[in-house]
Amino acid sequence: MVVQKTIDNLKERSKDERQVVAGGVAVTVVVILLVGWAVLFFKRIQNGSQEINFDSGAQEEFNFGATREAQDAIEASRNQSSEDLYRLRDDAAGNQLRGGGEIYLQEIGGSSDQFGGDQNF
């Protein structure tokens, strides 16, 4: 009876007012359902009847050994490449010091440029 009277009252209102009332009712129903679900969910977890299972079939099929081997190989190559880079840097520095001195001597002592050609100006 009360519901029918409310519906008849809404029919007399404009379309915008009916949409606002319908939206309010929908939001209220969703909030009530969400609060009810949360209360029941946390009660089940507290009682221990709800078990949270994070396992999945994809994780069981995944080969962790191969992944670990690949990570170790990458780590080893990275460490090796760092050592190679240090050695390359040291060799280049040594060559630069020796080569730089030779170029300096060539510029002072000879009439050829650093590329071995004669300087004819």
The 10s digit of each residue's pLDDT in 19-43 is 999 999 999 999 999 999 999 988 8
Q: How confident is the model at residue 68 (pLDDT cuts 50, 70, 90)?
A: confident
- What confidence score (pLDDT) does residue 117 get? 62
One domain for residues 45 and 79: no
Q: Does any domain span residue 61? A: no
Q: Which amino acid is at 27?
A: V
Count of the separate structural domains present in the chain: 2
Burial of 21 (0-12, 13-18, 19+ CB in 10 A): middle
Could you tell me where the beta strands, DSSP code E, fall in 1-121?
none
Could you tell me the residue range of the domain that residue 79 belongs to? 74-109
pLDDT of 116 higher than 70: no
Nearest Cα to Cα of residue 67 among 59, 78, 79: 59
- What confidence score (pLDDT) does residue 29 get? 98
For residues 27 and 20, the answer to whether their CB atoms sit within 8 Å is no
Helix (H, G, I), strand (E, B) or coil at 112: strand
Q: pTM for the whole thing?
A: 0.37
